[in-house]
Structure 1
Amino acid sequence: MSTLEIDRVRKSYGHLEVLKEVSISIGTGDFLVLLGPSGCGKSTLLNMIAGLETITGGEVRIAGKMVNDLSPKDRDIAMVFQSYALYPTMTVRQNIEFGMKIRKVQQAERDKAVRSAAELLQISHLLDRKPSQLSGGQRQRVAMGRAIVRQPKLFLFDEPLSNLDAKLRVDMRTEIKRLHARLGTTIVYVTHDQIEAMTLATRVAVMKDGVVQHLDDPQKVYDRPANVYVARFVGSPSMNIIPGQLEVDGTAVSAVVEVPNRPAARISGIPMSAAAATTYAGKKVLIGIRPEHFSVATAGGSSIIRIDVDVVEPTGPDALVVFQLGGVEVTARLPPKQATAGAEASLSVDTSKMVLFDVQTEARID
């Protein structure tokens, strides 16, 4: 049985449709990340799961039970907010146990739950402090501790790391991943940060304008994005989307791409089904290439692309090399000192990792 089922859920505010028949199902122990830019509907969907927003249409089921009309306290969930939502006049211990106290849990049981959560989150030494005496990362641990002691069927995280600095975000990502591994909890996590999505999720739902564009495990979303929007949103730098023309000769498929001030480049050995090759032979396509799938061409190699380097951005372990291809700006991730701005470079492409998209629909071609 799925822990969470979102079945054709819609949300409208008058004539404004915010969510458009969203369907997602995750099992016990899954870590689902709702990923997308501001305004895509991800936080609205999380609030509907929590019971903080009414549902216009469809059903939300938790552990097989339809919860559309249940209040938040009756849904067996725990939520961790972006703002921590801690009581400033209470100690850490009092904040963590507050929900149990309201539910009239016995003191001995409360003490045991607080100790266990504090040890798990490494905040035992902070139990007698007030929130004002804590750092942002410590406050977020307290908020997670308050959620853990409830032992709910479902944890909901609403952009919990967005208020932290870059270094602390990395540390807290590790803490949340470790927490998920130890507890085996089911988590729904909202973020606009695709690095968080890739590192934390077992399932990613990429959203745009109230529609789930792609739902899959993170690596599949990265390697085989469902459409151009997903390809550009997931990855840093994002996938290069290059216009080209497909040519088919028997079973051999290649793409011809315009190169400024040079003869067109031919990229050969593109894997493609026979049906798709027949459909798109001689037609314009969009070619998706991740920056790391370029490499410096070796002598005698095939499908060599000769380009003029515009910009080189050293990052330490590698360098981002920017050039023009197919009339658009393209980025390659290469080893350091392999290219020089203003000079020529010869590159090859790992065609096994290329993804093709339809020019009109922008959907992936399989």
Structure 2
Amino acid sequence: MSTLEIDRARKLYGDLEVLKEVSISIATGDFLVLLGPSGCGKSTLLNMIAGLENISGGEIRIAGRVVNDLSPKDRDIAMVFQSYALYPTMTVRQNIEFGMKIRGVPQAERDKAVKTAADLLQMTHLLDRKPSQLSGGQRQRVAMGRAIVRQPKLFLFDEPLSNLDAKLRVDMRTEIKRLHARLGTTIVYVTHDQIEAMTLATRVAVMKDGVVQHLDDPQSVYDRPANVYVAKFVGSPSMNIVPARLDVEDGRPVAVIDVPGGAAARLSGIPLSSQAAAKYAGRSILLGVRPELFSVAGAQAAQAVTVNIDVVEPTGPDTLALFQAGGVEVTARVPPRAVAARTSATLAVDTGKIVLFDADNEQRID
């Protein structure tokens, strides 16, 4: 069992509280990504799991055992750092087996473990090279190999791809995902890159100011963000947050949005409980709509809005169309050449996937 349980964990530096009763629980084989901007507390939390930072309150349990007071070497973890942390005078083989060597593991067992890790990471041909002879991606493979041979209960990754160029990051994401699938190990991974989070994780914890804002599987975080902060942080382009008013017609919620130069758009078919609809009837709300929920439609299409396109940004496979609605700039993702700048367009909206937020506290309305 390689479960991880973080129970109301706190971290204080003097009077500054950088982690505020964080609680996260993952099962054996989960891939947890701690996602958030610099300063949100994600690396501090990872270091507390590793034992590199003391915990100020709460408990951290690995495989059911409280590890608050255990040293890093007694926690049965392996950590892969952003900086690789390889010994420059050693070969790849020596770097990978070094930890086993100082623990007194016999040579035959070390050789077998190094071969297994090298085969898994497709770097057998690199075993006799020094780190200076490797690319950034190859060095990261060595760091991962050194972690694999320990066969720990928990793998910890601290922004391991941030030093790589864009193409190498994509390649290494694939390698890490393949590694997780083959080994079935439990992983905790820190990043500020929401694409890494979406592609790698089985569970994502979005953090802000030392607080977990949303913990769920990646698709749920994307489709039903807990609040406006999560909605804007996850997704590229991010979710549009449009001021609107909620009306109720025949018991059904209708979002009313001001559109420049035309009649207000009225969108129905929004998923909302009858209790929430009654509570927010006639009130200002925030409407969350992903860019891909728009499509080009005919003038008589249901659940559509006619807008003036300000800017188009071709990306190749699609086009980003920017327009004003509700007093803010809105982005729609449409097919190439489907719309043109400085023209009007009627865009249908998939209202079944719209998310509503409270205009005051910015929390999702269900």
TM-score class normalised by the smaller sequence: over 0.9
Q: Distance in 1 between matches of 2:270 and 2:120?
A: 49
Consecutive unaligned residues in structure 1, runs of 5 or more: none
Separation in 1, partners of 2:239, 2:127:
46
Q: Which residue of 1 aligns with 2:279?
A: 279
Distance 1:300 1:240 in 2: 24
Query: Deviation at 1:299?
Result: 4.4
After TM superposition, the structure 1 = structure 2 runs for residues 30-69 of structure 1, keeping only pairs within 5 Å, are 30-69=30-69
Offset at residue 115 of structure 1 (A):
0.5
Q: SS where residue 167 of structure 1 aligns?
A: helix
How far, CA to CA, are the matches of 1:306 and 1:242 in structure 2? 15
Shift of 1:265: 1.1
C-alpha RMSD over aligned residues: 0.8
Partners of 2:257 and 2:251 lie apart in 1 by 20
> For residue 46 of structure 1, what is the amino acid of its counterpart?
L
Secondary structure at 1:46 match in 2: helix
Q: Which residue of 2 aligns with 1:107?
A: 107
1:102-121 per-residue CA deviation (whole Å, 9 max, x = no partner) reads 11100000000000000000
1:303-314 mapped onto 2 (5 Å cutoff) = 303-314=303-314
What secondary structure sits across from 2:258 in the alignment?
Answer: strand
Look up the SS of the partner of 1:262 in the other structure: coil
1:184 aligns with 2:184: yes
Residues 1:172 and 2:172 are matched in the alignment: yes
Q: Could you tell me which amino acid in structure 2 is paired with residue 281 of structure 1?
A: A
Q: What is the match of residue 127 of structure 2?
A: 127
Query: C-alpha distance in 2, partners of 1:339/1:89?
Result: 59
Q: CA contact under 8 A between 1:31 and 1:188: conserved in structure 2? A: yes
Q: Which runs of 5+ in 2 are unaligned?
A: none
Q: Which residue of 1 aligns with 2:12?
A: 12
Q: Distance in 1 between matches of 2:191 and 2:224?
A: 21
Identity within the alignment, %: 79
Contact residue 2 and residue 25 of structure 1 kept, 8 A: no
Q: State the Cα deviation string for residues 281-334 of structure 1 (Å, max 9, x = none).
A: 010000000000011113431122111111100000000001111000100000
**8 Å CA contact 1:296, 1:347 repeated in 2:** yes
1:259 is paired with a residue whose SS is: coil
Counting matched residue pairs gives: 366
Give the letter for the 2:127 counterpart.
L
Matched-pair contact (CA < 8 Å) for 2:2–2:29? no
CA contact (8 A) 2:55 2:68 kept: yes
Give 1:264 shift: 1.2
Q: Which one-letter code corresponds to 1:88 in the other structure?
A: P
Taking structure 1 as the reference length, the TM-score comes to 0.99
| Residues in 2 aligned to 1:156 and 1:147: alpha-carbon distance in whole angstroms | 9
Q: Deviation at 1:85? A: 0.2
Following TM superposition, where does structure 1 have runs of at least 4 consecutive aligned residues deviating by more than 6 angstroms?
A: none
Verify: 1:315 aligned to 2:293, yes or no. Answer: no
Residue pair 1:51, 1:71 contacting (<8 A) in 2 also: yes
Counterpart amino acid of 1:288?
G
Deviates more, 1:103-112 or 1:252-261: 252-261
Report the Cα distance in structure 2 between the residues aligned to 1:271 and 1:47, rounded to whole angstroms: 40
Instruction: Spell out, residue by residue over 1:39-68, the C-alpha distance to the aligned partner (whole angstroms, 9 max, x if none).
Output: 000000000000000000000000000000
- For 2:146 and 2:269, the matched residues in 1 are separated by 55
Larger CA deviation: 117-126 vs 296-305: 296-305
Distance in 2 of aligned mates of 1:270 and 1:19:
36
CA contact (8 A) 2:299 2:346 kept: no
Measured in 1, the distance between the counterparts of 2:300 and 2:241 equals 27
Name the counterpart of 2:331: 331
Show CA shifts across 1:151-199 (max 9, x none).
Answer: 0000000000000000000000000000000000000000000000000
Aligned residues of 2:270 and 2:353 also touching (Cα < 8 A): no
Q: Match for 2:59: what amino acid?
A: E
- Partner amino acid, structure 2, of 1:51: G
How far residue 271 of structure 1 moved from its aligned partner, in angstroms, is 2.1
